[in-house]
Amino acid sequence: MCGIWALFGSDECLSVQCLSAMKIAHRGPDAFRFENVNGFTNCCFGFHRLAVVDQLYGMQPIRVKKFPYLWLCYNGEIYNFKQLQKQFGFEYQTLVDGEVILHLYNRGGIEQTASMLDGVFAFILLDTANRKVFLARDTYGVRPLFKVLTDDGFLGVCSEAKGLINLKHSTSLCPKVEPFLPGHYEVLDLKPSGKVASVELVKFHSYKDEPLHVACDTVETLPSGFDLETVKSNIRILFENAVRKRLMAHRRIGCLLSGGLDSSLVAAVLLKLMKEININYPLQTFAIGMENSPDLLAARKVAAHIGSEHHEVIFNSEEGIQAIEEVIFSLETYDITTIRASIGMYLVSKYIRKKTDSVVIFSGEGSDELTQGYIYFHKAPSPEEAAEESERLLKELYLFDVLRADRTTAAHGLELRVPFLDHRFTSYYLSLPAELRIPKNGIEKYLLRQSFEDSNLLPKEILWRPKEAFSDGIASVKKSWFSILQDYIDQQVDDLLLEKAAEKYPFNPPKTKESYYYRQIFEKHYSGQSNWLPHYWMPRWVKATDPSARTLKHYKSATQE
């Protein structure tokens, strides 16, 4: 996990523009480099490093003797760099996984490069010999990337939008900053003036398609067919493989643990594999909640079962409320459910950075979208519509859960790893018949739970624990975090302000005091950038006015029994 930043064709002094690069310093607390491009005085790279692999030669932009005309700035992890080296006979100069991008590009161009990478990434690749700039981002947008491109060809690229919004440019007061689409690469011509012109934006991978890099995966061809035992076995094999490949790190590995199904499965498989490869330190697991919250109690049970070194972070309502503004600044969104769920994750990440030496943090993101874990999936009119909704959620992950997971951890210099979003695992799961993937017997993620039922990885009551809304799972039994937030915000926003919300904020107008409160804070830091969020996250097939699972009928009956 690092912070990348680059400018091409800047009219302003680069030493002034460089101040914008410092806005993402939290992403790489270990080192910083600012480098001009030879022959292009108005082009430069900025890089903030979190050293996870190759402590000696990991600084960027990466340049190697074999390709002196290539410059690479990337944020991510490429899990198959050794397999690609073996398959194509690449000769690496460093131990940096991202060096493979240079060799793949030299061998087969940008299309093959992006398609063959098994991992999470956002990169800027400059080819001065052919005067091209390439941008690319992984399938689900696990690693963030933003860009700004003006009419006269000034290009700015950054891991987070905050590194671009204050850039100076002669022809535009505030150029339009936008997220770069996941699963795409862009080709731009580099002119002698340092300015660029976009040539094409190409979608290189759809999450439903089996990725090209399966050809050099460590797991051989799986048995075909949809009989239940075969499917369950394939799910276990691919999920274990997804965790195994993410063990690549020279820094200590930890795991977030809410005590729900997803993070518990990740933690249990992770600990099992760490023992198998003789990692000689205990796995640290981290749970957060208010005193005696359901998540804390469930996580304690899982940690005792798997034998992790468990840490509990207890926060009170005051700490949660105080964190709201810095959380919104980190997130760069005003989405209601994203902000609610981010507060706990932000506070636990802060604890990990301050109190432990774990840096590479595993988490359960992506499972709810992939395996139909949200409570409203019980209301899906048909298996086919449920499957379509699952795909929509995966496509928009970069706006919601993946955004939350990246920003809350990156704000504290941690690197997140999300095995549920492994390309091969997700493409297999999505290839299964729609009726296999729906909730059954009133239980969501039924197939996933069934697949691990006989593994003894988790206690049965955890394996079959119903879904909690994250903002509720961390709440005290006395009063939910949801209620605490509502009570506080009710005092902060006047009824009259809410009545006139649509006049003040015509795009995505706030409908509740809570959303108005978040929007005010967002506009304070990112005025006029409301288009970063195309719409609020809301459940489907139910008449919901709030995104919380707590407001859904199925959830109420489950929690009130």
Residues taking part in catalysis: 2
Dihedral (CA of 56, 61, 139, 163) sign:
positive
Distance separating alpha carbons of residues 61 and 40, to the nearest angstrom: 15
- Give phi and psi for 20, each to the nearest 5: -65, -35
364 labelled as ligand-binding? yes
14 labelled as ligand-binding? no
3-state secondary structure of 287: strand
Dihedral (CA of 286, 291, 292, 293) sign:
negative
127 labelled as ligand-binding? no
| Residues composing the chain | 561
Radius of gyration of the chain (CA): 23
Among 353, 349, 355, which Cα is nearest to 405's? 349
Among 188, 155, 189, 196, which Cα is nearest to 172's? 155
β-pairing, 132-137 vs 119-127, is antiparallel
321 labelled as ligand-binding? no
Question: Is 465:260 a contact under the CB 8 Å cutoff?
Answer: yes
Question: Is 327:387 a contact under the CB 8 Å cutoff?
Answer: no
Distance separating alpha carbons of residues 179 and 531, to the nearest angstrom: 10
Matching residue, tokens 């992939």: 370
Among 69, 130, 124, which Cα is nearest to 98's? 124
3-state secondary structure of 246: coil
Please return the burial class of 318, using the count of CB atoms within 10 Å of its CB with bins 0-12, 13-18 and 19+. exposed
Distance separating alpha carbons of residues 446 and 320, to the nearest angstrom: 33
339 labelled as ligand-binding? no
Question: Is 386:437 a contact under the CB 8 Å cutoff?
Answer: yes
Give the annotated binding-site residues for L-glutamine. Answer: 97
Give the annotated binding-site residues. Answer: 97, 256, 288, 363-364
Give the annotated binding-site residues for ATP. Answer: 256, 288, 363-364
